[in-house]
Amino acid sequence: MTHRYLSLFLILLVLVPAGCSYRFVDPFPASDYALVSVRNATEEAGLASMLEEEMRRSGGFKERSANRLSVTITDFTESVESVSSDGIPVRQKLTMDIAWKVEGTQTAQATFGKEVVVREYAYSTDLTTLDWNRSAAVRLLTELAARSVFERLGGQP
């Protein structure tokens, strides 16, 4: 009986992904690059370390690769996204600009780009909740920034 279920599972494992054009997730294309630097050119403390941590966690970089990736956080802004009818902020918006550059052994491999990522979070009059919401939004913003850079690198050689 269990052999029958195992056979059915293996058949479904092959047919379902093929039939619905689903493919199992490939690792990010960062495995072709060496992450040489992540810099923060803003006054927001800790962004570079969070972004580097997220990129290394998600990426699988090679220590020694001819393609060297450098990332710089060029701008970080926080603004009120929406307010209530009483004029109290309801949602805050974080915006982060990231410039990245890949340099290779040949000048034809030098590629660069800029990504802008945005994340909103709920405003709270309770300072502890506000700090927690903001911290979580910054963490999610760095994750989104890493994904944006990786998606751009996916089209590179």
Each residue's pLDDT tens digit in the chain (157 positions)?
666 766 666 565 555 555 555 544 544 545 678 889 999 999 999 999 999 999 888 777 888 888 888 999 999 999 988 888 888 888 999 999 999 998 886 545 568 899 999 999 998 889 899 899 999 999 999 999 999 988 887 755 4
What's the confidence (pLDDT) of residue 106? 55
What's the confidence (pLDDT) of residue 63? 80
What's the confidence (pLDDT) of residue 44? 92
- The strand pairing partners of 103, in sequence order, are 68
- Strand, coil or helix: 67: coil
Pairing of strands 34-40, 68-83: parallel
Q: For residue 93, give Cα distances in angstroms to 22, 25, 33, 133.
A: 34, 30, 32, 11
What's the confidence (pLDDT) of residue 115? 94
Two structure tokens written together for 87: 């004029």
Distance CA 97, CA 92 (A): 17
The dihedrals phi and psi of 129, each to the nearest 5 degrees, come to -65, -40
Q: Which of 78, 70, 122, 123 shows the shortest CA–CA distance to 96?
A: 78
For the chain, the first-to-last Cα distance in angstroms comes to 49
User: pTM for this structure?
Assistant: 0.73
Give the CATH H-level superfamily of domain 29-153.
Answer: Lipoprotein like domain (3.30.160.150)
Distance CA 73, CA 45 (A): 11
What's the confidence (pLDDT) of residue 139? 94
The residues spanned by each domain of the chain are 29-153
